[in-house]
Amino acid sequence: MTDLAKLPAVDPDTPNAARMYDYHLGGSHNFAADRAAGDRAREAMPWIREAVRANRSFLGRAVRYCQSQGIDQFLDLGSGIPTVGNVHEVAQATDPTARVSYVDNELVTVTSSAAMLADDPLSTITAADMRDPESVFAAPGVRDHLDLSRPVALLTVAVLHFLHDEDELSRLVVDYRSRLVPGSVHVLSHVTADFDPSTASAATGVYQQTANPILPRPVSRIAELLHGTELVEPGLVDASRWRPDGAAGPEHVGFVAGVGILR
């Protein structure tokens, strides 16, 4: 884990999207300001908790899909606060030797993850900004933990909508994937307003008042982020409709999700 002093200090009075996400999932790593903002977001978008949980379920299914393709290494960018259904828990339930490198730049996330992973030598947490791939890949928790000569699952789940610069976003996606060998997999989910613009706009307005404003993107733009990969069926779809374990959940809950294989 890198130097925590490099991370922004925790401001309990300013809502933080990672802690709001934790609140929506039923976690305990949040403050009163996060819960209040989460409640305002729910007033604007009554099904936001269902959307967040559908996205979390997608993450678990995508991890298991990657394992079915022989991948046992995971790089989770913007990993978020540890709660039920973490990548290492899902992966190691199937393969106890699976290795996970978490990366985040939020202090509560990093310190909570470090405590959770203290007795897990196969999982690390790196305090770094995903907008700086050089720092991410140079960090011991990534550089010394993952074997980049073998396929890796790159996880960008519910994180890219926090990047507002379109050129930077495209550059980062290309940069990260360029460091991975063929057979690696890019797992992606992203917020969109395409299916309910007015409700999404109201919820986005709540996030504008937090430390992490969200930028919903059109599905067509999100699809571009997986260009250059072999898109896994069923393609880019509502998170609840990506290879559901049972009956598919409700469509258009706010997150679209997809998985692409690097060839």
Distances (CA, A) of 246 to 57, 86, 87, 162: 12, 21, 21, 31
Q: What are the structural domains of the chain?
A: 4-262 (3.40.50.150)
Residue 247: per-residue pLDDT: 65
Read off the tokens for 89. Answer: 């828990």
pLDDT band at 81 (very low <50, low <70, confident <90, very high): confident
Residue 249 pLDDT greater than 70, yes or no? no
pLDDT band at 253 (very low <50, low <70, confident <90, very high): confident
Q: pLDDT digits over 11-20, tens only? A: 899 999 989 9
**In the chain, where does DSSP find H-type helix?**
17-24, 32-44, 48-68, 87-94, 107-116, 133-138, 140-143, 166-178, 197-207, 219-224
Average pLDDT of the residues in 44-68 = 95
CB 239 within 8 A of CB 58: yes
Q: pLDDT digits over 133-149, tens only? A: 999 999 999 999 999 99
Q: What is the pTM of this model?
A: 0.94
Among 31-35, 237-241, 247-251, whose mean pLDDT is lowest? 247-251
Residue 92: per-residue pLDDT: 96
Residue 236: per-residue pLDDT: 97
pLDDT band at 186 (very low <50, low <70, confident <90, very high): very high
Average pLDDT of the residues in 219-230 = 98
pLDDT band at 248 (very low <50, low <70, confident <90, very high): low
Residue 10: per-residue pLDDT: 83
